[in-house]
Chains A and B, each alone.
Chain A
């Protein structure tokens, strides 16, 4: 059973465009983490959000945790080719295992 659905699955955009990736669940999580993964490498942590309604910014990336702690979004402003990669959301419940989303593969063309 896939508890975390990400959309879109694939995104191909031009440099400079904005985009939003969504991560949705019917379950409540105590935390939500976003990772970026490059081919052949492990996921690299971008951010952890723990409070419902929380918004965190990391340069051009804005992360939001839903009020009910069931969903999250990642917004990238003025995407650059270096943003290319697989974006994964992962829900956690009190330091237990992470439940990963299906992933969003982003390609940013120069």
Chain B
């Protein structure tokens, strides 16, 4: 049984560089979510997909952020021109819309440090 996987687990980059993270959801799940978590806080919603359609984006998701889920399976989150304030843990979660589908299962996260 494979859960949600995320790559890379850690990323250190310099301010101004672009970074891309990948999330592979649980295979039968059609919904995929991205959250951001800063130190000492609970995760905050960024965006979510049902299949390949991006259904909602948070106001936290500035125009430097873009997320895709081209074939309704894995997803990527790209941050362009990174800023130090982007340093955080980026979490991916997936769920199934069938049978109620409230429960979200999280991956291990990608920790980003912008120097």
The chain A residues found within 8 Å of chain B, CB to CB, are 4, 30-31, 33, 35, 40-45, 48, 50, 88, 90, 92, 94-103
Contacts and interface: CB of A to CB of B under 8 A. Distances in A.
The winner among B33, B40, B91, B106 for most chain A CB atoms within 10 A is B106
Contacts, number: 69
Nearest to A89: B42
Contact of A102 (B41, B56, B95): B41
Contacts of B72: none
Interface of B: 4, 6, 31, 33, 35, 40-45, 48, 56, 58, 91, 93, 95, 97, 100-109, 111
18 contacts: A4-B42, A30-B102, A33-B102, A33-B103, A41-B109, A42-B107, A42-B108, A43-B91, A48-B103, A50-B100, A95-B100, A96-B56, A97-B45, A98-B35, A98-B104, A101-B42, A103-B40, A103-B42
Nearest to B100: A50
Contacts of B106: 35, 42-45
B42 A95 contact: no
A46 to B, nearest CB: 11
